[in-house]
Amino acid sequence: MSAEIICVGTELLLGDILNGNAQYLAQQLAQLGIPHYHQTVVGDNPERIKQVIEIAISRAKILIFTGGLGPTPDDLTCETIADFFGVPLVESPEIIEDISQKFAQRGRVMTPSNRKQALIPQGADILPNPTGTAPGIIWQPRPDVTIFTFPGVPSEMHRMWEETAVPFLKSQGWGQEIIYSCSLKFWGIGESALAEKVTAYLNLPNPTVAPYAGKGEVRLRVSAKAPSEAAAEALILPVEKQIKDIAGLDFYGVNNDTLASVVGGLLRASGETLSVAESCTGGLLGQMLTEISGSSDYFWGGVISYDNSVKVGLLGVKAEDLDQWGAVSDTVAEQMALGVKTRLSTTWGLSITGIAGPNGGTETKPVGLVYIGLAGPNDEVKSFKYQFGTMRDRSFIRLLSASTALDLLRRRLLTR
């Protein structure tokens, strides 16, 4: 008894819009524990919509449509579904009343084309749309098929789903078993290396563990099927703990944690403060830190020392060292970190200087070469050299640089 999501709209086929509706419905189905194996996108074309229905009812019992319920002639979803099952459309006085009222409220007059939106297949129930004019339907044209239709406008669809579809599905016995997931996040280890370390967990039946690679980071999603969130958590917890033990410092957080939020939490706990000096990242590190509301508790600011004159003038980097070693060097990274820490009177100072590309690389200092400096209590200072590769693009090298700087500080704070 599985569901299929069918999104109708030529704008999806032209790539004009991102299919956020499919993601939303997928999350909702997972939460209710309704299995869902296929999503289909098809244009506003009756013949092709019918073929899609034919395929969908051969592999799913619940068909969830979004899109194509509007008042314009290219909106054909509802009439095509009725036609497929050989059922006539009837005008619903209830919908006519509702639409007229909404138009009156906005001081407008209902147009004839809106009348079309009041046509539903005979025997279908109305799925009311509190905010828009296009209602949906809940309909069982055959005992083994349940159809939902929703408008494509996300805000309308979400509210209709939550207020009407979810209670209906629960009344049908769904939502007894839910799928609950937790993402474990890692930095400093590749997807395949991590997968090999935790290989024993990748074939568990419940909870399941699956690896995903993001931009520089790796995640393991641990998903449990259980009668309640608490029961799912109880299944997940021991596995989560064991994986954390195996991964050690490469594990940095769960779910919505970011490297910046984790570092922020550690600094807040120890009552320490941080400042940054950024060259090739140009503000990205500060931006990541201040994305977190409340970061002013521990982040005091920094210097974007893009030009060498700023490195000298605001950070106290020695001009002769810039001449001798170049801006992209361990010496300058250390002076930047120490300079910003001293001038802003913070516990820690983090610096980044590197070549983000695509231009500016040389044979001895290629694109992707990045030095990160970390200055701390008692003016301890250390620099770290990275080669993020000549094939990565500018924004990726910058992201890796800023994230790695945060990760260095995280490891330092955890191992003292």
Out of 33, 46, 50, 71, the residue judged to bind its own copies by CB under 8 A:
71
CB of 370 to its own copies, least distance (A): 13
Going by DSSP bridges, is the β-strand pair 348-354/369-375 parallel, antiparallel, or unpaired? antiparallel
Site for its own copies in 314-333 (CB under 8 A): 314
Of 108 and 142, which has the nearer Cβ to its own copies? Answer: 108
Out of 1, 234, 319, 391, the residue judged to bind its own copies by CB under 8 A:
391
Write out the H or E segment, with its range, that includes residue 38: strand 36-42
* C-alpha torsion angle, residues 294, 295, 296, 298 (rounded to 10): 120
Alpha helices in 35-165 (DSSP H): 46-59, 77-84, 93-105, 112-115, 154-160
Residue 309 binds to its own copies (criterion: CB under 8 A): yes
Site for its own copies in 244-263 (CB under 8 A): none
Of 102 and 268, which has the nearer Cβ to its own copies? Answer: 102
CB of 101 to its own copies, least distance (A): 10
**End-to-end C-alpha distance for the chain, whole angstroms:** 54
Query: Is the torsion defined by CA of 83, 89, 95, 99 positive or negative?
Result: positive
Of 191 and 330, which has the nearer Cβ to its own copies? Answer: 191
Of 130 and 227, which has the nearer Cβ to its own copies? Answer: 130
Site for its own copies in 5-34 (CB under 8 A): 10-20, 22-30
Residue 304 binds to its own copies (criterion: CB under 8 A): yes
Q: What is the C-alpha to C-alpha distance for residues 277 and 353, in angstroms, rounded to an integer?
A: 9
Residue 205 binds to its own copies (criterion: CB under 8 A): no
Residue 284 binds to its own copies (criterion: CB under 8 A): yes
Of 123 and 211, which has the nearer Cβ to its own copies? Answer: 211
Name the residue type at position 90: V
How many residues make contact with its own copies (CB under 8 A)? 117
Let me know: does 312 contact 340? Beta carbons within 8 Å.
Answer: no
Site for its own copies in 91-110 (CB under 8 A): 102, 105-108
CB of 254 to its own copies, least distance (A): 14
DSSP codes, 227-247: SSHHHHHHHHHHHHHHHHHHH
Site for its own copies in 209-238 (CB under 8 A): 210-213, 215, 221, 223
Residue 345 binds to its own copies (criterion: CB under 8 A): yes
Name the residue type at position 225: K
DSSP-assigned letter for residue 109: P
Residue 295 binds to its own copies (criterion: CB under 8 A): yes
CB of 185 to its own copies, least distance (A): 13
Q: What is the C-alpha to C-alpha distance for residues 65 and 49, in angstroms, rounded to an integer?
A: 10
Going by DSSP bridges, is the β-strand pair 145-150/62-66 parallel, antiparallel, or unpaired? parallel
